[in-house]
Chain A
Amino acid sequence: MDLHYTPEEQAFRAEVREFVRARLPRDISAKVLGHRRLAKDDYVRWQKILHERGWIAAGWPVEHGGTGWSAVQQHIFDEECAAAGAPRLIPFGLNMVAPVIMQFGSEQQKRRYLPRILSSEDWWCQGYSEPGSGSDLASLKTRAVRQGDHYVVNGQKTWTTLAQYADMIFCLVRTDSSVKPQEGISFLLIDMHAPGVTVRPLYLYDEEHEVNEVFFDDVKVPLENLVGSEGKGWTYAKYLLGHERTGITGVGASKRELALLKEIAAQQAKDGRPLAADPVFRQRLAQVEIDLLALEMTLLRVLSSRTKPGPEASILKIKGTEVQQALTELMMDALGPLALPFSRTAIEEGGSAAPLAPDYAAPLAARYFNWRKTSIYGGSNEIQRNIIAQQVLGL
């Protein structure tokens, strides 16, 4: 056992750090480090910079334009980007639909979609959940009926993250109602600009327009937009979910948040001294830091084993989101009553929510509430526990 990074890995880290330092636009990192809301353009600008360097698709194989990096290199890259305040890479195209297209898609689909994902020309969103089908995804009702050279799609998706920006949506749709629910599902790529697609905003806890309802009303989708074969959508979706769960761990971002939390604790006061020196707060902070340290090691342990993560990915999802939530809570707590003022404008455009509060305080309570989502999406933490109980513990 040797828990040090190799000299090559250290050199790689230095190279990434230098690149990010030189190329990450300051206005974007200021937003990320200040917990401000990002605009579409902020994400796209950074993704294009990475694309230009050939680093946009860390996890893709080289033949499709990926980096061919090892899992540990990918982790180092993620950590360096996060630490510097780079925006997260929008995962729906890069990490979700792309692996499915590579594995199960037609040659034509690979040629058409993969380059446009690399260049951020298409913004993708994920159309799985429906009002009646969240945890029980296999009960989904959106229907696609074959008519000549296309499908006609009718139904509704919900919770669709950032669908308001999207050019394409990958959907699970029902193509056969006569078989077992899992066997009648197909994986369809749908143009968001097609007639009959409507997007309606949903506002989260913190008044952010982050998710949407997406309605399909007699939407015509060419047959060539079916991925793989009809009725196999469930298998493809499960293939993808493993990718989603390791991605949600968020170790790099949590390490950055921990550092920001320490800065805030040094600036806030309690009992006439810095909050960072308060014994109760120090203990709470240290406990989260210890959890995060263990999580990082767990992630590296999973990543450095040669086998692909199986149900263990659920452990990373549970603990990763718990650490993220604990960090948002401590950050809010660090502010004391200064957590109370709320201003959408401050969160979106910068500034403070109250004249006597510091700018950095404005988004933190909102962020705490927003982050409750992490134990719900990507398969709720209850569902992850069910998976572990059944598939790891054999209960």
Chain B
Amino acid sequence: MDFTLSEEQQLFRDALAKFVQNEYAFEARRKIVASAQGWSGEVWARLAAMGALAVPFAEADGGLGGSGVDLMVVMQELGRGIAVEPYLATVVLGGGAVAAAGSPAQRQALLPGLIAGERQLALAYAEPGARHDLHDVQASARREGAGYVLSGRKATVLNGATADTLVVSARTAGARRDAQGVTLFLVARGAQGVSLSDYRTIDGLRAADLVLDGVRLGADAVLGPVDGGLAPLERAVDLGAAALCAEAVGVIEQLNALTLDYLRTRRQFGQPIGRFQALQHRAVDMLVHAEQVKSIVCLAASAAQSADERERRRAVSAAKSLVGRSGRAVAKEATQLHGGMGVTLELPAAHYAKRLTMIDFWLGDSDWHTERFAAASA
């Protein structure tokens, strides 16, 4: 067994780390978050130039053929800077669905542009009232001639408003919560009948609610098997969840470092507050969380693309469950140990703590993944 990164992976990590540290400092990020678009096109172009957008895609699609571990390396470094660029939405979720289910023509049409940084994607699967269930789909796709007509609603679509193409799940057969009968479609953002309302999320990102009202699509818009879209959707979301867990590692490590620094420098009662044993033990617990999370994320990264469905589900859900619980715990402690400074937006700590807490609300929360883990382990 070997937990070390290859030399190539280390070099890539170091280059990204340097980029994030130098060009994604607190003030720079603050400006990006406050901008109209909510993320930086310049940063995106740099990520493309570094090859980061190519990581998970097959060489035949113009990608680097990277593994789940390669993806983990990228996400950890982005997490360290709590970067808000739509890497998860475009590369991992949208790109992942296209890579998992797309025909050669669809992959050719979408992935090279994505990899070059010219095309944005989003995965629109969540519906109001469905919570985290991928199979709870009410949006409908009715056959009409050779094509389909889509109607329905999708909530909290990450990067929805800046995506050029949306991957949308809709029901082609069966009842609301049936596993069979879900189909994925490629929908252009500008298509007639598509309306998107964009908003901020509390962790500094942008999402959109999507209403589809009689959107007409050709047969070439179907992504993957008709009625059998749940499997590729689940694969893409699992890869997304594993990536999100890797991001959490970066967030936790950075937040722990910030907190430790605060314990060393903030003085009360004539000494650094880090001298108080009550706080030392809490800082130790934060470190234990970080180590446990790092380990489970290695497991999830290794199994995220596994052909063994059960192995994949167990590893990804184990990671997301633990990240949810540990992430919240670390965020709470970091806030508390910063005292009043922890609850203001003046210091980076609060921004990290917000993102870390809310990671539990994307792509399945801790309760949901704990249950899924139990089901997969039975």
Contact = CB atoms under 8 A, between A and B. Distances in A.
Note whether A and B form a binding pair: yes
Interface of A: 129, 132-136, 139, 158-159, 202-207, 211, 268-272, 280-281, 333, 336-343, 353-357, 365-366, 368-370, 372-373, 375-377, 380-382, 385-386
28 contacts: A129-B340, A135-B339, A136-B268, A139-B270, A158-B340, A203-B345, A205-B350, A207-B345, A336-B365, A338-B128, A338-B155, A340-B203, A341-B202, A341-B207, A354-B155, A354-B197, A354-B207, A354-B209, A356-B128, A356-B153, A356-B155, A366-B202, A369-B354, A372-B332, A376-B336, A376-B343, A381-B336, A382-B336
B342 A376 contact: yes
A268 B151 CA distance: 23
A129 B339 CA distance: 12
The 3 A-B pairs with the shortest beta carbon distances in the complex, nearest first, are A342-B202, A136-B268, A340-B201
B201 A333 contact: no
A269 B340 contact: no
A341 B201 contact: yes
A136 B31 CA distance: 35
The A interface is mostly helix, strand or loop, or mixed, namely mixed
Given A357-B155, A366-B202, A373 B136 contact: no
Given A336-B131, A356-B128, A341 B344 contact: no
B156 A354 contact: yes
Nearest to A135: B268
B279 A365 contact: no
B197 A355 contact: yes
A139 B269 CA distance: 8
A272 B365 CA distance: 16
Contacts, number: 135
A382 B131 contact: no
A336 B354 CA distance: 15
Interface in B318-362: 332, 335-336, 339-340, 342-346, 350, 354, 357-358, 361-362
Given A204-B344, A280-B367, A340-B362, A372 B335 contact: yes
Contact of B156 (A136, A338, A343, A370): A338
Given A159-B340, A365-B202, A365-B358, A337 B155 contact: yes
A55 to B, nearest CB: 33
B345 A269 contact: no
Contacts of A159: 340
Contact of A202 (B197, B201, B278, B344): B344
B237 to A, nearest CB: 13
B334 to A, nearest CB: 10
A342 B340 contact: no
B345 A272 contact: no
Interface of B: 126, 128-133, 136, 153, 155-156, 176-177, 197, 199-203, 207, 209, 211, 267-270, 276, 278-279, 332, 335-336, 339-340, 342-346, 350, 354, 357-358, 361-362, 365, 367, 371
The B interface is mostly helix, strand or loop, or mixed, namely mixed
Given A134-B268, A135-B268, A135-B339, A337 B132 contact: yes
Nearest to B267: A132
A337 B361 contact: yes
B199 A342 contact: yes
B209 A355 contact: yes
B207 A372 contact: no
B278 A385 contact: yes
Given A134-B340, A202-B344, A340-B361, 11 more contacts: A129-B340, A139-B269, A336-B361, A342-B202, A354-B197, A354-B207, A365-B202, A369-B343, A373-B340, A376-B336, A382-B279
Contacts of B371: 280
B358 A340 contact: yes
A338 B153 CA distance: 14
A357 B128 contact: yes
Nearest to B153: A356
A134 B344 contact: no
A227 B278 CA distance: 36
Contacts of A272: 136, 176-177
Nearest to A271: B133
Contacts of A337: 126, 131-132, 155-156, 361-362
A144 B185 CA distance: 71
A343 B200 contact: yes
A159 B344 CA distance: 10
A207 B200 CA distance: 13
B256 to A, nearest CB: 17
A77 B314 CA distance: 52
Given A135-B269, A337-B132, A369 B339 contact: no
Contacts of B207: 340-341, 354
A133 B133 CA distance: 49
B339 A134 contact: yes
B343 A205 contact: yes
B198 to A, nearest CB: 10
Nearest to B345: A203
Contacts of A386: 278
B365 A333 contact: yes
Q: Which of B132, B202, B336, B344 has the most CB of A within 10 A?
A: B202
A354 B199 contact: yes
Contacts of A205: 343-345, 350, 354
A136 B340 contact: no
A205 B347 CA distance: 10
Nearest to B370: A280
A384 to B, nearest CB: 11
Q: Which of B131, B136, B339, B365 has the most CB of A within 10 A?
A: B131
B123 to A, nearest CB: 13
Q: Which of A132, A268, A356, A385 has the most CB of B within 10 A?
A: A356
A255 B153 CA distance: 36
Contact of A341 (B199, B279, B335): B199
A263 to B, nearest CB: 16
B250 to A, nearest CB: 20
Q: Which of A135, A159, A204, A372 has the most CB of B within 10 A?
A: A372
A54 to B, nearest CB: 37
